[in-house]
Copies of this chain bind each other. A is one copy, B any other.
Amino acid sequence: MLSKKTKYGLKALTFLASQKVKQPVQIAEIAKQENISQKFLESILLSLRKTGFLGSKKGKGGGYYLIKEPKEIFMTDVMRVLEGPIAMVPCVSLNFYEQCDDCPDEDSCAVHMLMLKVRDANLKVYRNTSLADLTG
């Protein structure tokens, strides 16, 4: 299952991407428009800022805004930040590889084999999809 964190994060990003005027948007505004718990969204936007997707401005007239162009924001990066590793098992992860402690041989492991295919399929989708592609 996709976590609500990821769902909300994606919605917030696309909301910001579809802004005509390039001014900061307040958390409350995004939360209201997208039906998201404001406090939860707050922590999500914060993590998106800390990972370089968003910028923020405090005080009156403040809010969040995209740092890069939607075309330049790819789902591979977004998903890794919001949802975690794209691979479903660490032993097929590109960025978070870990050996299985219970499995003696990766090459003959059925789970490894299957999840490798799944990872490749998902990577292909995420790499070929930018935020711009999602703003209809």
Contact = CB atoms under 8 A, between A and B. Distances in A.
A94 interface: no
B110 A118 contact: no
Interface of A: 1-2, 7, 10-11, 13-14, 34-36, 75, 84, 88-89, 102-103, 108-111, 113-115, 117-118, 121-122, 124-125, 129, 133-136
A110 B134 contact: yes
Nearest to A75: B114
B10 A102 contact: no
Nearest 8 A/B pairs, CB to CB: A110-B134, A14-B110, A35-B102, A121-B121, A2-B88, A117-B125, A121-B125, A10-B111
A125 B133 CA distance: 24
B2 A111 contact: yes
Contacts of A89: 1-2, 7
Contacts of A113: 133-134, 136
A1 B88 contact: yes
Given A11-B109, A34-B102, A121-B125, 4 more contacts: A110-B135, A114-B129, A118-B122, A121-B121
Nearest to A90: B1
